Structure formats: structure tokens, C-alpha cells
């Protein structure tokens, strides 16, 4: 059985509508309060699905390694590092009468070699007759043999596979992970609070965040938010700010985010200290604001509202999703980014400029262009808003709900709010 962690909710009885029983579906993923981008994604997905498909009751199986306390929507907990928990959680879902399961796949959040223990969970679901869908948060162009084996087996047993962009679809097909017709392109959603019309509806940022933003009033702000780790390549952005310091005296760079828990677990705050030391060495310590907090959606909205441009100088071209870049575009903030797969797809319509990873000269030039050519900035901002409008969770969750309804073999409950929409919500680059 999954560990009986303290303060964990008991299994709940499915809610029933007066005329039609709701189908219970479960999302398997990390989940708040765990500080993790996929956890945030899953919380937003759950709310989006609940709104888009009122005939579904959406519960969560949280993948945990720090004995977190969860809300009542979490019906089971898998200890990431205990192989017995995976099939036990599947049996628990069967006992609850769950109709389908959505697995959010990222190699690092499941235990075993290359996250292989999720296969035991999937096999147990299949054994009890529960279909599952898999959303791939990572698709690499050249997976290792172990990664390829896990993905092929996981996706091979899935009723459907979803990815965020056409590039991820192409990579998955090329790697033989799944057949083209079984892979749906459904974008990475963004919460309503990020959109200008809803920015004032959330809670106020905590005092430390509000103070940092108050200190940036009147400045031209470049920003990055999200969990901090060496693969974010933040040295490239700090170097660009230093090189533009004389030319753009009001330029400030806000780096908002806690150190990634796995980085902190093994290396403490070493990477954050290297960023501070670099800013000192380059003479721009007064221009770099490091905010050590895992931000709420309201705080992210406040950061983006203060930003002129968003920076993602990530090191790896293989990244096929980025909640941070998605959120920036939803807020209408254009980006300067390295040319990783997700950025290439999302910025293809002109919402930003991409450059090769690790190229400080090119990144500096792109940032200069965005901040010194008003026409270019205005065009990129308009493109960001157009792209962001396609990423509202109300639209994204409805597309995913259609796949869930098809998978569970029952049409959606009728509702006047539903409108026809394409499954693929992003253009092919």
C-alpha cells in the first residue's frame, strides 16, 4: 500500500450529479505544495478540466518524496522512491472506480532507472482495465536506450499520448515512441490570472515580492522566473545585462525563483552564489535582483506585469516544454531566448528572438535589438499576445477533455459553453 503519510486525506466517494453519474479521473504527477513546475501545471490542469468538463470528477495521485501534506483532492500518494507504491496506487484507483488516468511524464519525478517504476503503475492499471493517457513533458531527439525503452513501453500501453508542440510530436514519432495518429498536440495552458483583464483578481504578492517589484518601478525590467538550476544558463543573461549597462542605464534583471529542490538537495545554494559572484565581478550587482521564492500565480502575474522582456537563456536545445515561457506569452511579454525546441515553436510567429545556446554575443545582440528598436518590441509584444490568447486553460483543458471522453468511451455531457476547436492548438514551425 502507498505509505500512510501524516495529514493525508481518506479516500472519498465519487460525487454524483442528479441525472448522470460523474466519471472520476485521476492525474498522476507531482502536486503542490511540492515546488515543481509540473506540480503547478497539474494543479492548473485539474482546475481547467473541472471547469471545462463538469461531468468529470478530477482527483490526484501525488508523487512525493518529502512527506508533504496535501489537500482533499489528493486521493493517493506514491512515495517516489518506493517501487511497491506504484502498483498499490493503481489498485487503490480501481477500488475507487476511476474511469481513466492522466500520467504526467517527466523522467525525474518517478523512481527507478530512467523513471522506470511508472511502468509498474501503468501495467497495474492495464491489469484492472483502467485506460490511461500520457502527457510527455520531455521528448529528446536522441533518447538513451533506457529512456527510449521506458517511453515506448509507457506510450505503447496508453490509450492516447499528448505533447505540447508540433516539434515534440515530430521528435516522438522519429524516436519510435508512438505512432503519429496516437499523438495529440495540445498546448501547455496558462491560468487566467496572467491575462491583463484578470490581473487584479488574485491575492496580493507577499511583502518580499512586493518590495522587490517596488524597487524596480521606473526601470526597464528583463525577467526570468522559475526554479533555479545550472541548466537555466542565467550566466548568459547576466553577461548580456552587463554588456548593455552603459547603453541602457535603466535596465534591471529580475531573477525570481527558489533553487530547484533536487539541486539544493545535492549542492545547496552553490549555483545561486555563483550568479551573485558573477554579477559582482561584472560590476552589475546593483542591476541584478535575485528573489529567492517559489512564486504563486498572482506573484508571477505581478512580475510579468512589471517586465518589458522575458529571458530564457536555457542551455539545452532538447527542452520541449516551458511553463515559464508559456506564462510570459500569456501575459503578453515577448521573449529573448536560446533556441530550444519549445522556444522555437512558441516564438515562430514573432513573439521573440531566439539565438544559439551559450552564445553570449548573440544573446546580447538580441536583447539590445528588443530594447532599442521600439517597432521590433511593439511587434513582438503584439505577437506574444496573439500566441498567449491560444493558451488559456479554458481552451486547452477543453481539448484535453475531448480526448479523455473519447478514451473513456462516452461522449461529453452537453453544455452550452462547449465550442468546436482543433486538437492541435499550435502552428507547425
Q: How many helices (H) and strands (E) does the chain have?
A: 15, 13
Cα–Cα nearest to 306, from 211, 197, 220: 220
The domain limits of the chain are 23-189+392-407, 192-389
Query: Model pTM?
Result: 0.87
Tens of pLDDT, residues 371-411:
999 999 999 999 999 999 999 998 999 999 999 998 877 55
Domains 23-189+392-407 and 192-389 belong to one CATH topology = yes
In the block, residue with C-alpha cell 548573440: 362
Tens of pLDDT, residues 183-200:
999 999 999 999 876 655
What cell was used for 198? Answer: 484578470
Say how far apart CA 402 and CA 359 lie, in whole Å. 42
Tens of pLDDT, residues 24-34:
999 999 999 99
Answer whether residue 337 shows pLDDT above 90: yes
The reported pLDDT for the residue numbered 198 is 60
Q: Say if domain 192-389 classifies as CATH 3.40.50.2000.
A: yes
- DSSP labels for 190-220? B-GGGSGGGGGGSPPPPHHHHHHHHTTTTSE
Query: What CATH code is assigned to 23-189+392-407?
Result: 3.40.50.2000
Query: In 10 A of CB 25, how many CB atoms?
Result: 26
Q: Which residues contact 162 (CB under 8 A, 6 or more apart)?
A: 133, 134, 135, 136, 183, 184, 185, 186, 400, 403
Amino acid at each position: 500500500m502507498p505509505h500512510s503519510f501524516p495529514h493525508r486525506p481518506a479516500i472519498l466517494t465519487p460525487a454524483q450529479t442528479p441525472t448522470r453519474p460523474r466519471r472520476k479521473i485521476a492525474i498522476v504527477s507531482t502536486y503542490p505544495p511540492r515546488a515543481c513546475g509540473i506540480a503547478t501545471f497539474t494543479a492548473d490542469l485539474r482546475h481547467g478540466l473541472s471547469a471545462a468538463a463538469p461531468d468529470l470528477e478530477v482527483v490526484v495521485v501525488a508523487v512525493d518524496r518529502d512527506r508533504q501534506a496535501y489537500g482533499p483532492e489528493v486521493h493517493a500518494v506514491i512515495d517516489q522512491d518506493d517501487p511497491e507504491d506504484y502498483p498499490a496506487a493503481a489498485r487503490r484507483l480501481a477500488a475507487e472506480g476511476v474511469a481513466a488516468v492522466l500520467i504526467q511524464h517527466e523522467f525525474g519525478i518517478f523512481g527507478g532507472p530512467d523513471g522506470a517504476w511508472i511502468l509498474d503503475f501503468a501495467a497495474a492499471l492495464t491489469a484492472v482495465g483502467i485506460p490511461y493517457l500520457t502527457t510527455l513533458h520531455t521528448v529528446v531527439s536522441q533518447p538513451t536506450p533506457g529512456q527510449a525503452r521506458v517511453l515506448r513501453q509507457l506510450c505503447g500501453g496508453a490509450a492516447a499520448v499528448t505533447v505540447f508542440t508540433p516539434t515534440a510530436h515530430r521528435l516522438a514519432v522519429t524516436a519510435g515512441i508512438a505512432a503519429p495518429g496516437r499523438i495529440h498536440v495540445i498546448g501547455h495552458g496558462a491560468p487566467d490570472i496572467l491575462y491583463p483583464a484578470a490581473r487584479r483578481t488574485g491575492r496580493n504578492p507577499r511583502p518580499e515580492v512586493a518590495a522587490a517589484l517596488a524597487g524596480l518601478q521606473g526601470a526597464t525590467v528583463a525577467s526570468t522566473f522559475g526554479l533555479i538550476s545550472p541548466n537555466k544558463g542565467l550566466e548568459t543573461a547576466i553577461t548580456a545585462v552587463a554588456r548593455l549597462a552603459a547603453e541602457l542605464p535603466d535596465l534591471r534583471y529580475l531573477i525570481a525563483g527558489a533553487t530547484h529542490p533536487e539541486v539544493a538537495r545535492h549542492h545547496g545554494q552553490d549555483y545561486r552564489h555563483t550568479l551573485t559572484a558573477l554579477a559582482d565581478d561584472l560590476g552589475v550587482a546593483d542591476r541584478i535582483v535575485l528573489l529567492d521564492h517559489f512564486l504563486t500565480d498572482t506573484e508571477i502575474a505581478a512580475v510579468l506585469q512589471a517586465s518589458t522582456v522575458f529571458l530564457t537563456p536555457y542551455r539545452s536545445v532538447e527542452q520541449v516544454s516551458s511553463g515559464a515561457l508559456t506564462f510570459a506569452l500569456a501575459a503578453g511579454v515577448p521573449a529573448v531566448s536560446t533556441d530550444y525546441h519549445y522556444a522555437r515553436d512558441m516564438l515562430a510567429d514573432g513573439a521573440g528572438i531566439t539565438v544559439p545556446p551559450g552564445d553570449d554575443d548573440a544573446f546580447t545582440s538580441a536583447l539590445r535589438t528588443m530594447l532599442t528598436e521600439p517597432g521590433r518590441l511593439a511587434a513582438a509584444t503584439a505577437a506574444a499576445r496573439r500566441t498567449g490568447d491560444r493558451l488559456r486553460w479554458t481552451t486547452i483543458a477543453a481539448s484535453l477533455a475531448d480526448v479523455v471522453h473519447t478514451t473513456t468511451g462516452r461522449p461529453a455531457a452537453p453544455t452550452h459553453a462547449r465550442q468546436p476547436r482543433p486538437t492541435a492548438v499550435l502552428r507547425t514551425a
